[in-house]
Every structure is written in structure tokens, then in C-alpha cells.
């Protein structure tokens, strides 16, 4: 049955390709959409279903050309929570019907490229399926607390010179102040994640306040880039189980702490990262300290000399990070808040 669905799906891709070139499709090759349940799409995995909801929110905002002021509202749209609910596989993506909502959208189609790692591979076109890491010795550089008007652009130049991409966990109030720098981060091929609005300890401010911190920062990043951030890194790495359930993003922690915030010393930053990095590491640094940024060229050079390859968090986690879980390194995760 699954094979049949994929065959019909493949015909749909051919149809789109031919029609895009100005051709016509014979009647017998018309696309037949396939109905599936969310249980089938996710293999009954509630975290995968939460990830589909995450993709749906982005599609609603994109479809309606929504302003940033509407970001909070998209979290109020009722989206599927039951595995028995149905959706439709089409040539262009996963079609979902929506309940009445403030966006006045009755139906969305989530492009398949937005569902990589969220939907079981067999329901996706081959080009959108997850695969293993290309390089065994892969690591992800991550930078917290920016954007900084001076140091972040300097870091972007260093990364470009070394042909390296990284993941930036940015503070919402700084994104709001320097949106063009956040835009530059994304334009250069890097990822932007959510690091709260003004860097409080989530475990101390309560679930409601923590969720508001995340949504407010989502709004700032969306205003700057047109995209909701995929990940959240809670300040100090602290998050409760309740916050992990309520925050609608995967939580990204780290396995290597450069301690650059404590050392403020280029040589010590370099030594700490080199001493503690292993294949699959997520490396924590900050782009608001000059010694940290100054340490990056040497860190990259020496790790490359050891055979390491630098990737984004998404690439390191094989595009499979899911809401409700927290990730420390490749193949190292557990329930958020535990």
C-alpha cells in the first residue's frame, strides 16, 4: 500500500515538472492524492506530531504574509494532537484542513522540504528524506547572546573565510535592536535559534513567563528573517519539565562548554574547546566577547587538522530534532527538563 502511494506521488512530481515546462499531462497520469493519518506519518510519535505542528505554524504565517505582530496568534491556532486525524499527501506537500481560526485559513499545504525529519522517511520524496551524517567527525559551533553590532559581523567574516557555517542562539531584544545583523547571519548560510528575550533563568521565572519569552523572541526573529526559529536554547541551559512540554520547539543544549564567558581569554578558550571536543559535539561559545571571536580561527584550523568537519545543529542532528526533547550532541538527547 505504501509503495502504491509513493508511486502515485512520484507521478505527481513528474506532472509538476512537465507542466512547469509548458507541457500537458495525459489524463491517465493525473495525480491522485493519498490520505494518511498522523499516526502513520509519525509512527505514533507525539514528538513528531508536535514537529508537524511547528511546520504548520510557519506555513500559516507564510501563506497569509502575516506581520510579526501575528506570531503570538499562530500559537493559538488549533492543530492536530490526535494520531487518528487525517491529512493528504499531494504532489507539492502535506495538505491539512484547519479548524476556524483568526487567520481565516481553511487549508494549508506544508512543503515536503519543511517536513524532513518530522515525517517518517517513506512518506517523503527521496530528496527530502533524512540520511546519516556524511562525516563521522562532525561538530557544530554555536554562539549565544548576540547579535552584537561589532563582534557578530566580525565572526561572520571569519566563518566565511573558513567555509564554515554555525548556529546562532540570539537574544530577542538584541535581534529587535539589530535586525539587519540577524538577516546577515541567515544570508550567510547560518542558522538562528531562540535564546529568550532578555536572558532570564527559565527555571526561576515560571512556565508562563518562559513561554512568553520564547514567543516574544520568535516574533523578533520572524520580523527580521520571515521565519520562525526552529530551536530554543534556554539561558544557562536551565529548563523545567513543564516548560519543555509547553515550549513548541526542540531544546538545544551542548556537550562542550568553552567557558569563554568565564575565561575572557583567547588561549584558554582555544585550549578548552580542543581538550573537550569529540565527534558529534555541540560546542558552546558566545559572539559578544572579543576573545571568544578571536579564538575561532584557531579552533577551526586545529579541529580541521584533526579531521573534523563543521556543520549546523540541524545537520549534526540529521534534521530530526523534535519538540519536547533536549539535545546535547549527535545521538545524545532526552526529554526536555529531565
- For the annotated catalytic residues, the residue numbers are 144, 286
**Nearest residue to 155 via CA among 140, 145, 171, 166:** 166
Q: For residue 204, what is its C-alpha cell?
A: 526561576
User: What is the phi/psi pair of residue 152, to 5°?
Assistant: -65, -45
Amino acid at each position: 500500500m505504501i509503495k502504491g502511494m509513493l508511486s502515485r506521488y512520484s507521478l505527481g512530481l513528474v506532472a509538476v515538472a512537465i507542466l512547469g515546462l509548458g507541457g500537458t499531462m495525459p489524463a491517465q497520469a493525473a495525480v491522485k492524492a493519498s490520505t494518511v493519518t498522523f499516526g502513520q506519518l509519525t509512527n505514533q510519535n507525539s514528538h513528531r506530531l508536535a514537529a508537524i505542528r511547528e511546520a504548520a505554524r510557519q506555513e500559516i504565517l507564510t501563506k497569509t504574509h502575516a506581520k510579526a505582530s501575528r506570531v503570538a496568534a499562530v500559537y493559538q491556532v488549533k492543530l492536530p494532537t490526535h494520531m487518528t486525524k487525517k491529512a493528504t499527501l499531494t504532489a507539492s506537500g502535506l495538505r491539512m484542513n484547519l479548524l476556524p481560526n483568526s487567520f481565516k485559513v481553511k487549508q494549508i499545504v506544508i512543503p515536503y522540504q519543511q517536513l524532513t525529519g518530522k515525517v517518517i522517511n517513506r512518506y517523503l520524496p527521496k530528496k527530502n528524506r533524512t540520511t546519516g551524517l556524511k562525516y563521522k567527525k562532525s561538530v557544530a559551533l554555536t554562539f549565544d547572546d548576540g547579535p552584537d553590532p561589532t563582534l557578530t559581523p566580525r565572526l561572520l567574516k571569519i566563518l566565511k573565510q573558513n567555509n564554515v557555517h554555525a548556529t546562532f542562539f540570539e537574544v530577542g531584544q538584541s535581534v529587535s535592536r539589530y535586525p539587519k545583523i540577524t538577516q546577515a547571519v541567515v544570508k550567510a548560510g547560518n542558522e538562528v535559534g531562540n535564546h529568550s528575550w532578555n536572558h532570564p533563568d527559565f527555571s526561576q521565572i515560571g512556565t508562563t513567563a518562559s513561554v512568553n519569552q520564547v514567543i516574544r523572541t520568535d516574533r523578533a526573529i520572524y520580523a527580521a528573517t520571515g521565519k520562525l526559529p526552529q530551536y530554543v536554547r534556554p539561558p544557562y541551559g536551565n529548563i523545567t519539565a513543564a516548560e519543555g512540554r509547553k515550549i513548541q520547539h526542540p531544546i538545544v543544549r551542548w556537550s562542550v562548554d568553552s567557558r569563554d564567558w568565564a575565561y575572557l581569554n583567547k588561549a584558554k578558550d582555544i585550549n578548552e574547546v580542543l581538550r573537550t571536543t569529540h565527534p558529534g559535539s555541540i560546542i558552546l561559545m558566545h559572539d559578544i566577547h572579543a576573545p571568544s571571536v578571536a579564538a575561532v580561527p584557531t579552533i577551526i584550523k586545529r579541529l580541521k587538522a584533526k579531521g573534523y568537519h563543521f556543520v549546523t545543529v540541524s545537520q549534526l542532528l540529521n534534521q530530526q530534532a523534535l519538540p519536547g526533547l533536549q539535545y546535547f550532541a549527535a545521538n545524545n538527547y532526552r526529554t526536555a527538563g529531565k
